[in-house]
Amino acid sequence: MYLIVGLGNPGLSYKKTRHNAGFQALDKLADKLNVRIKTKGFSALYGEGKIDGERVILVKPQTYMNLSGDAVQSLLHFYKLEPDRLIVLYDDIDLPLGSMRIRANGSAGSHNGMRSVIACVNSENFPRIRIGVGKDESVLLRDYVLKRPSKAEQKTLDEVFENAADATILIVQGNIGEAQTRYNKKHEKNSSVSVDGNKD
């Protein structure tokens, strides 16, 4: 069994913003699995489905981003799951728009939602999918991530959300290496250094 969490902010005003990339990717996965993320509880919306017979719980924390870990911790406790049965999808300004980075573990980098999750579950040892939304040095970070992308950018992001959903399925199937090989390539071509100090 896996807890699959998309990070974002609740409310219509945040729905299509860059900072809600985790929610949007989770919606793609829900569509593929025919899961409705509608059940309310544990400061979250969640729904249950299966991937090749493996039970999965898809979760959208309904706290604001910097308290995301509260819902994750509560649900892990309720389902009696260890942190390594957690998968988190979230936006990353340190990756170029249209790229994706899958890691089996690691630090939160600059992302407040991931900092909250790691602090609450007291572990960095769980898979995560970082979705590149890029950044614009000419505007404040908060303004950039809480703004909706252009139509062209959204089209690119929609493709990444689709890939993130497929990568999540591979991880649940026990094929994280295949997911990394298939979906990390685009980022590796850019050869940048991530905020957690690892060459990506």
The pair of three-digit structure tokens given for residue 76, joined into one six-digit string: 């892990």
Q: Is 19 annotated as catalytic?
A: yes
CB-CB contact of 95 with 196 (8 Å)? no
Residue 137 CB neighbour total at 10 angstroms: 6
Q: Which of 19, 77, 111, 187 is catalytic?
A: 19
Main-chain phi, psi angles of 39, to 5 degrees: -70, 135
Q: Which residues are catalytic, by number? A: 19
